Amino acid sequence: MKKIIAANWKMNKNRAQARATAEELASGLSAGKPADRTVMVFPPFLAIAEVNTVLGGRAGTLVGAQNFYPAESGAYTGEISLAMLADAGASWVLVGHSERRHVLHESDSFLAQKTQYALRQQFGVVLCIGETLEERESGRLSDVLTRQIEQGLSGVLGMSKSLLQEKLIIAYEPVWAIGTGKVAGEKEVLEAHALVKELLGKQGDDLSSLPVLYGGSVKPANAQALLGLANVDGLLVGGASLEAKSFLNIINA
């Protein structure tokens, strides 16, 4: 399976900056060795169309959105629909990123609703899961990942396995490693990814073949080692994806 390398730009870059980074990425991708990589870019909403103009047509490169509201249209002030995102060129969405869970207080049941809704609308979903430091230190890693996987996937188990394999990716991102510079150690990544695969194996008709990405302070210097670990099918990158050169080094790791 091709390794998946995803960029989450969070609330960074105006349209001109996003376009410039996308253009640098596009030329770097042409020069590099991306044939065994799938690259995903999640810009802020207003930059999606710009980024899609540059990267949208490239084989193996996908453009997505960091958020959406699970309704067709209507009285949801400040929200954005999947139809609007599709119109701008997005075909994937992030669901359950730790900042949505812990800063914006999105619940497991709302995230389950979003996951089901996006897949029904033919969008791909990167469902993010991960424990806080307090949860890890109090021995609740397994409980937290079990709850996030069981509840997050509760609405999609009736869908066809081939659709889920094509359109659903899990990202394990320990909250204590996101944006902190503290990458999880090899032992922690191996343990958590093995657990995630085991839990996925118990969902529906065995979803252990879904790709599982690692996220949390990924940098060019640690990308190759992380990609070499068992059950790590790719990387979700925040800070180190903002500069095209650094993200290209991760893609080519």
Q: Does 232 bind ligand PEP (CB under 6 A)?
A: no
Can 193 be counted among the known catalytic residues? Answer: no
- Closest alpha carbon to 94 in 119, 131, 127: 127
CA nearest neighbour of 129 among 46, 203, 47, 240? 203
Give the single-character DSSP code of 163: H
Rounded distance, CA 90 to CA 176, Å? Answer: 29
Q: Is 64 in the site for ligand PEP (CB under 6 A)?
A: no
Nearest approach, Cβ of residue 179 and ligand PEP (Å): 4
**Given candidates 216, 232, 233, 247, which one binds ligand PEP under the rule CB under 6 A?**
216
The upper half-sphere exposure of residue 86, i.e. CA atoms within 13 Å in the direction of its Cβ, equals: 9
Q: Which residues contact 83 (CB under 8 A, 6 or more apart)?
A: 72, 73
Select the residue whose beta carbon is closest to ligand PEP and give its number. 238
Cβ closest to ligand PEP, residue 77 vs residue 225: 225
Encoded one letter per residue, x for contact with ligand PEP by CB under 6 A and - for no contact, window 168-207 reads: -----x----xx----------------------------
- CA-CA distance, 73 to 76, in Å (whole number)? 8
* Residue 127 binds to ligand PEP (criterion: CB under 6 A): no
Residues in contact with ligand PEP by CB under 6 A are 8, 10, 97, 173, 178-179, 215-218, 236-240
